[in-house]
Every structure is written in structure tokens, then in C-alpha cells.
């Protein structure tokens, strides 16, 4: 009985190792965080941080910025946002949703996660794109004043 149990344990272990060897590699975006300076017209300007995630062809972007402050307390999921990023080879990719945490008056604005679709090898940059936010019926458009740092998001 002990031999059967040991043999079964070895078989299960070997199958587990084999499964790991053939498991698909996790897809990742690099960098996962980038900073930029944004100009939001009469609504202000300043530093912004973009955070990216990837799961296959699905990606999300979250933006937090001191460039725009919440004018009043805002409830969760009350800002409709469209983030447009420029592809290195031409064209754009958009990330759109009505996603944001609740914010008190004067808080830095944060939107996302905003979902979008990417392809392997996509290189996306905020400079040349825009963020459009609809807050209480007012549209705020922000643009990057230069390239993001440390560089564009590159998706596996």
C-alpha cells in the first residue's frame, strides 16, 4: 500500500511539473506606471500618473492627477472618461468607462480602471492623445505636454 501511495504521489508531482512547463507565460505590460504633465485648459494642469494592467488582449488604465481637483464631493462611478493613447506605429487605442472612486471636494481626480483592447507588441503613449472626462455634465479635456516617463507602455 505504501508503494502505491508513493507512486501516486510521484505521478501527481510529475504531472504538476509538466503542467507548469506547458502553462502559458503570464502577459505583462512594461512599464506598469508612467508619469506625465497634463494641461487641462481652464481646469488646470500638473502631474498625472497612469497605471496599466494587462490580461491577454484586455488592458486597463487608471489615471490619478493633481492637474484637476474634484470641484465638490463626487460619488463613485460618476465620471465618464475616455483616455486615448497614441500607438507607436500609427493610430490610437481608447480606454473608456464610467469608473472612479468617491472623492471629496479638493481631492486629486482619479478615474479608472478604464478597459480597452490591446495587441501583443502595442506601444502606447499619452503624448499626442487625450483624456476626456465628463463631470457633472461638464467636459474636461486634458492633454500631455510631453512624452510620458519612463516611456511608452509596451504590451506582451
Q: Give residue-wise pLDDT tens across range 99-138.
A: 999 999 999 999 999 999 999 999 999 999 999 999 989 9
Using DSSP's 3-state secondary structure scheme, residue 143 falls into strand
- The confidence score (pLDDT) of residue 44 equals 87
Question: What pLDDT was estimated at residue 23?
Answer: 42
Which residue spans within 18-148 are E strands per DSSP? 29-30, 33-39, 45-55, 58-69, 79-87, 92-97, 108-117, 123-135, 138-144
Instruction: Please give the pLDDT value at position 27.
Output: 66
From residue 93, give the alpha-carbon distance in Å to each of 23, 82, 125. 29, 10, 10
Low-confidence residues of the chain: pLDDT under 70: 1-27
Amino acid at each position: 500500500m505504501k508503494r502505491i501511495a508513493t507512486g501516486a504521489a510521484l505521478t501527481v508531482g510529475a504531472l504538476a511539473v509538466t503542467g507548469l512547463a506547458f502553462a502559458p507565460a503570464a502577459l505583462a505590460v512594461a512599464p506598469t506606471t508612467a508619469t506625465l504633465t497634463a494641461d487641462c485648459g481652464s481646469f488646470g494642469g500638473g502631474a498625472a500618473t497612469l497605471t496599466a494592467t494587462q490580461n491577454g488582449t484586455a488592458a486597463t488604465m487608471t489615471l490619478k492627477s493633481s492637474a484637476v481637483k474634484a470641484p465638490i464631493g463626487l460619488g463613485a462611478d460618476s465620471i465618464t472618461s475616455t483616455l486615448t493613447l497614441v500607438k507607436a506605429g500609427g493610430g490610437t487605442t481608447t480606454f473608456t468607462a464610467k469608473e472612479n472612486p468617491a472623492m471629496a471636494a479638493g481631492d486629486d481626480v482619479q478615474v479608472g480602471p478604464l478597459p480597452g483592447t490591446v495587441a501583443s507588441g502595442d506601444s502606447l503613449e499619452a503624448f499626442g492623445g487625450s483624456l476626456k472626462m465628463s463631470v457633472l455634465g461638464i467636459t474636461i479635456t486634458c492633454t500631455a505636454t510631453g512624452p510620458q516617463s519612463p516611456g511608452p507602455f509596451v504590451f506582451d
